[in-house]
Chain A
């Protein structure tokens, strides 16, 4: 809605102060309280109020939405919902028809769950549609009264390219996010509360918090237990911390060295380091992996030179493997940091440097009070995304070490992150429920860490700080 003055701003004062504009006066409560018969009837027959105020097309669109929803619910929505609580319990049967055994398809819980979740989402969308239709009818009523008639079609269309352009522009992206990001997530999250594992492939049931209990049990023989989870989580955090901050500081260090006044061939150095960005990450990781095998190129080279007697245990010893993945991740990540920080360094307002020089600051003071704050301001969101990206860094671990070394009988290796563990549990072992539990907990960890940092960062609090 466009900015307008509200008569009842009290409840929304906070959000208004934050976003800097007034909420719309056409809210549902007002519509139901002050609307006339037509407006109230619009809650039953969508678009009625709009059609009565000569907004024919708009009214018909609302109506079409309602009819579409009813048709959908009658044809499949109701069945989907009714099966959701049980997740289906008809097993596949063999039936003898005309002397031949035929398979009669039973219920498939995954499909039931997916359709059920989708139906719930559609119902939520429908409720929003209902609200929209009622408020729109109320708006038409108010405007018809105050201005003689409700906005015409062309005025509304023009508004969609001007005052309310966000609706036009955001529509498709939001739909995309809803269908391919939000829906799958809800679907997977609901799996955490079922027993969808390798023993229940087609038919499974809701089990409530069983899986979470399993995770926090100390049963060390199971696929998943507190001690395994604890060690994987610990390593994930260590990994993410080192991968993010070593990359950041070493990258910054290199960028500043290259950026020194007296360093020569600046362009050449930058080109060399960006060369490795140009090689697709999975290629360089796979190459590194083969090079670091016990019989790989590096070990051969070291033995040929007589530096080592036997192959070094790059991926076979836990500590070696952990250091190796961190170091190789430095190789992958530092060029990106150099690229980014070089750009930012050139962009630090020169008058800040001049001012600090006039004030007699030495290089360290300049660095801590001018350069760093600027870099941090610009890069905080980037650092947070890198941190979350590293917690979820599937590629480096999976392609490099594959989580190895894995102790016998364990489901998680010594270099497995939560994310690769999740992958192994779901894809290799078909324990979708446990995978979903791990996914949820990963999210919780990330959300806590990053929301706290992000909300306290300068670039969130003060979006327009450097505008």
Chain B
């Protein structure tokens, strides 16, 4: 298959050395191969997703059924998920995650923007050092520090009751300054002449930052905002180490719990329903993000 497709690539960008009708025939053949290949791949990629959606509507709530797709459909799983909050309080988990995600988004946006601006536009002592340190820190396994972070939070008194949410916000956003590389790469494509022109006109560097760099970086900004907003929704390890009581669970922990041995028999369909509920907002954000991301990939300043 890969051979045929390679040929397809070759023809598409081919130079037309062969007779015209021969090229045309080969192109049609290649087109067919490519589209069939893409269709097969698309099925592989979409099937598990469809399966989750159908499973969330399954009347039979047990995990291992005899058929691949459910036989009877119902909407009960969703209703139960949001109304029966005695055992696992999914709405509460949803709210927890939402609150953490909002704060996280704002704080890490600020951090990433500041650091990226400094690294990209300014030249000062310790700049290279900072970049190298950030790179090195990223190489330590994150799990390694999770346990230590828990001890630190305990010493700060942030492991009881509602302070856990503050702890989560801190953990997700405090270190985000080290993740400036993508943003910096983007800012590197903004011509320096813009800064220089503004500074000749009497702007301070702060004004250059707020009035020129931030507006131009908008596509990447949206990308960054959404990635940091999504962090708490997708993270599992850190949350597991820090939120140790159910009232502070995030959705990821809740969904994982639903698949543990005690719950899976009753909760499997509701797990699928929960997964769909979490995925829909995330999917929307992703679609928005992708548009901005591609826009930002095509460079900061056009023309």
Residue contact B177 to A280, C-beta cutoff 8 Å? no
CB distance from B71 to the nearest CB of A (A): 13
Residue contact B122 to A165, C-beta cutoff 8 Å? yes
> How far is it, in angstroms, between the C-alpha of A264 and the C-alpha of B30 when the chains are bound?
13
Count of chain B residues near A, Cβ 8 A:
106
Residue contact B177 to A174, C-beta cutoff 8 Å? yes
> How far is it, in angstroms, between the C-alpha of A102 and the C-alpha of B123 when the chains are bound?
62
A278 neighbours in B (Cβ, 8 Å): 279, 282-283, 286-287
Residue contact B111 to A288, C-beta cutoff 8 Å? no
Residue contact A158 to B204, C-beta cutoff 8 Å? yes
Task: Tell whether A101 is near chain B: CB-to-CB under 8 Å.
Answer: no
Task: Tell whether A210 is near chain B: CB-to-CB under 8 Å.
Answer: no
Residue contact B145 to A188, C-beta cutoff 8 Å? yes
B63 neighbours in A (Cβ, 8 Å): 290
Residue contact A182 to B137, C-beta cutoff 8 Å? yes
Contact pattern, B 141-157, Cβ under 8 Å of A = 1, otherwise 0 = 11111111101100100
Name B143's contact: one of A399, A423, A464 (CB within 8 Å).
Answer: A423
- B284 nearest in chain A by CB position: A278
Residue contact A443 to B45, C-beta cutoff 8 Å? no
Task: Tell whether A435 is near chain B: CB-to-CB under 8 Å.
Answer: yes
Task: Tell whether A89 is near chain B: CB-to-CB under 8 Å.
Answer: no
Using a CB-CB cutoff of 8 Å, which residues 408-444 of chain A contact chain B? Answer: 418-419, 422-423, 426-427, 432, 435-436, 439, 442-443
> How far is it, in angstroms, between the C-alpha of A275 and the C-alpha of B43 when the chains are bound?
12
Task: Tell whether A110 is near chain B: CB-to-CB under 8 Å.
Answer: yes
Residue contact A280 to B141, C-beta cutoff 8 Å? no
A-B contact pairs, 18 of them (CB 8 A): A3-B123, A114-B152, A161-B205, A170-B177, A176-B175, A177-B134, A260-B13, A263-B38, A274-B287, A278-B279, A280-B252, A280-B279, A286-B255, A286-B271, A287-B272, A304-B67, A304-B68, A357-B15
Interface residues of A (CB under 8 A from B): 1, 3, 15, 18-21, 23-24, 110-111, 114-115, 158, 161-166, 168-170, 172-174, 176-177, 179-185, 187-188, 253-254, 256-258, 260-264, 269, 272-284, 286-288, 290-291, 293, 295-297, 300-301, 304, 331, 335, 339-340, 342-344, 346-347, 357, 362-364, 366-367, 378, 381, 385, 388, 392, 394-395, 398-399, 418-419, 422-423, 426-427, 432, 435-436, 439, 442-443, 446-447, 450-451, 454, 459, 463-464, 466-467
Interface residues of B (CB under 8 A from A): 2, 5, 8-10, 12-15, 27, 30-31, 34-35, 37-38, 41-42, 44-46, 48-49, 51-52, 63-64, 66-68, 110-111, 114-115, 117-118, 122-125, 127-128, 130, 134-149, 151-152, 155, 170-171, 173-178, 181, 185, 188-189, 191-192, 204-206, 209, 233-234, 236-237, 241, 252, 255-256, 259, 268, 271-272, 275, 278-279, 282-283, 286-287, 290, 293-294, 296-299
